[in-house]
Amino acid sequence: MDALPLRVLACGDVEGRLESLFGRVRAIQSKSGRFDVRLRAALTPIPTFVLGANNQETMHCFPHVTGCELAENITYLGRRGLFSGTSGLQIAYLSGTESQEEPTPAYSFSSKDVTELKSSLLSTPNFKGVDILLTSPWPRDVESFANSPGEIDTKKCGSTLISDLAASLKPRYHFAALEKAYYERLPYRNHTVLQETPQHVTRFIALAEVGNKSKKKYLYAFSIVPMSLMDPAELVKQPQDVTENPYRKLQKGAQKTKVLGCAEEETACQFFFDLNKHHGKKRPSDGKDRGSSQTKQAKKPPQPTGPCWFCLASPEVEKHLVVSIGTHCYLALAKGGLLPDHVLILPIGHYQSVVDLSSEVMEEVTKYKSALKEFFRSKGKRYVLFERNYKSQHLQLQVIPVPLDYTSEDIKECFITQAQEQQMELLEIPEHSDITQVVQPGTPYFYVELDTGEKLFHRIRGSFPLQFGRAVLASGALLALPQRSDWRSCTAARPEEAAQASAFRRDFQPFDFALRD
């Protein structure tokens, strides 16, 4: 028999507006029935659990650091810990605001508090995560890979310690209310795709204060079956809108700092998937990973060892094929293109692969992909993008349009089938994943990306057919242009190339963000 879900009501800071809160709760209960639990509230006829003070002025309301019953049905959880209800629901909590002061004020928490809370839970046998995490501050960078929180800038007000705590405890729901704003982030995954066993997702919800004049949402009702009672397969189901984990950059940055011997905060061990071994085996990072985004942005791209046909400043570049130039990237028609509108996305500086790109260059690559999607869709087409990081020294993202009536499944099946015919395996990477999670810089690979964000990946271990991506698209199953599978048989005279570039440049102009920025 399946466990019945608990009905939970989460609430933002009350700030003394009890009558306003009570009225709203009564109205909700009259419409939808009684709740089992309420979080972060005050006097109530239903079981309620609250966090402690965020400032000196309210300290007198919470007499015991370890928690206590404040009134009938109202429990102050305490400074930090785990509350396990009779239902099996597990609520981890951390009261107060982050502080660097020594000694730490009673209304704040320190890195030691976070470390001890993590240690007490992570040492539990078969620990998978907690059902709910309650904190006052927002986690830093929670908005990464997701919808915007509006006026809230977590780089200024977010807590890195809370990010670390959330990344470690893997709550199914994480509530915070210190910034007095409502924000419901898209759910994010707690595992690394193709590297770790699938795990449950986390939903972060920030709530405004009760009775706020802007009428921002301060109550959040939801139903939940405790993790311990759920079917494992049901628990790890991934919703369609799931995103990458927003705290991975912070964890990578912390790991890099630790390797350099100057760690300033708690770090999490970073793993990479060893694609030379069987699926699922992990190995520790050797410290040569990409590091923090700040380090990457400051680092200059490496210089080519010889003449490069694609560095924009190089005299070898055939500039008559260039159709758009941004700040960090440019577009050019492919020489000997499969089709007249076959284009390349190229970094202006010298980078070997997508995995090597700095965050600012990658951001502009993404903008070009979005612009090309709109451009081709306006012509009744969709694009297929591929990269071959093998026997090439400068990143080339090949972008080739196909008719819109080809579905994603049609295209993926064509690539997978032809790969199997050549004893190669193409693995599918989920939509919101980053290829940098799957492969380290310097590793040979081939990958395909559709304009929907779906991706296929192959780790090159030996030889690899240089024209594979183009040959698949040219095959009878897709464009039926087998005679154009090799670019060398498709080159045109320079005046013809220039005319094609001019026509593409004119048609692409309404979609070219580089002309507006």
pLDDT digits (tens, 9 = 90+) for 105-130: 888 999 999 999 999 999 988 899 99
Residues 29-55 as b/e (b if ≥16 CB within 10 A, e otherwise) read beeeeebbbbbbbbebebebbbbbbbe
pLDDT at 345: 97
**Does residue 302 belong to any structural domain of this protein?**
no
Q: What is the DSSP letter of 394?
A: S
Q: Note whether 221 and 341 are same-domain residues.
A: no
Q: The CATH number of the domain where 92 resides is what? A: 3.60.21
Q: Note whether 335 and 462 are same-domain residues.
A: yes
Q: The CATH number of the domain where 375 resides is what? A: 3.30.428.10
By mean pLDDT, which of 287-291, 430-434, 467-471 is the weakest? 287-291
Count of structural domains, the chain: 2
Q: Note whether 235 and 87 are same-domain residues.
A: yes
Q: Note whether 104 and 242 are same-domain residues.
A: yes
- Mean pLDDT in residue range 414-423: 92
**Does residue 306 belong to any structural domain of this protein?**
no
Q: Is 356 helix (H, G, I), strand (E, B) or coil?
A: helix
pLDDT at 268 over 80: no
**Does residue 78 belong to any structural domain of this protein?**
yes
State the Cα–Cα distance between residues 257 and 287, nearest whole angstrom.
Answer: 9
| 462-485 per-position pLDDT tens digit | 899 999 999 999 998 899 999 998
Average pLDDT over all residues of the chain: 83
State the Cα–Cα distance between residues 155 and 146, nearest whole angstrom.
Answer: 15
pLDDT at 341: 95
Q: Note whether 231 and 349 are same-domain residues.
A: no
Band (pLDDT 50/70/90 cuts) for residue 306 is low
- Mean pLDDT in residue range 201-209: 96
Q: Note whether 460 and 362 are same-domain residues.
A: yes
Q: Note whether 383 and 481 are same-domain residues.
A: yes
| Strands annotated E in 209-286 | 219-224, 271-273, 282-284
The residue range of the domain holding 175 is 6-252
Band (pLDDT 50/70/90 cuts) for residue 293 is very low
Kind of pairing between the strands at 173-176 and 132-135: parallel
- Mean pLDDT in residue range 227-249: 90
Diameter of the chain by CA atoms? 86
Q: Note whether 327 and 243 are same-domain residues.
A: no
Q: Note whether 19 and 168 are same-domain residues.
A: yes
Long-range contacts: 285-289, Cβ < 8 Å, 24+?
285/255, 287/255, 287/256, 287/259, 288/440, 289/252, 289/255, 289/256, 289/440
pLDDT at 4: 83
**Does residue 63 belong to any structural domain of this protein?**
yes
Q: Note whether 490 and 378 are same-domain residues.
A: yes
Q: Note whether 93 and 179 are same-domain residues.
A: yes
pLDDT at 297: 44
Q: Is 242 helix (H, G, I), strand (E, B) or coil?
A: coil
pLDDT at 307: 67
**Does residue 378 belong to any structural domain of this protein?**
yes
Q: Note whether 195 and 331 are same-domain residues.
A: no
Length of the chain as a residue count: 517
Of 196, 218, 252, which residue is a domain's last? 252
Of 197, 229, 252, which residue is a domain's last? 252
**Does residue 165 belong to any structural domain of this protein?**
yes
- Mean pLDDT in residue range 5-29: 75
Which tokens sit at 263? Answer: 């760690």
pLDDT at 284 over 70: no
**Does residue 350 belong to any structural domain of this protein?**
yes
**Does residue 296 belong to any structural domain of this protein?**
no
pLDDT at 242 over 80: yes
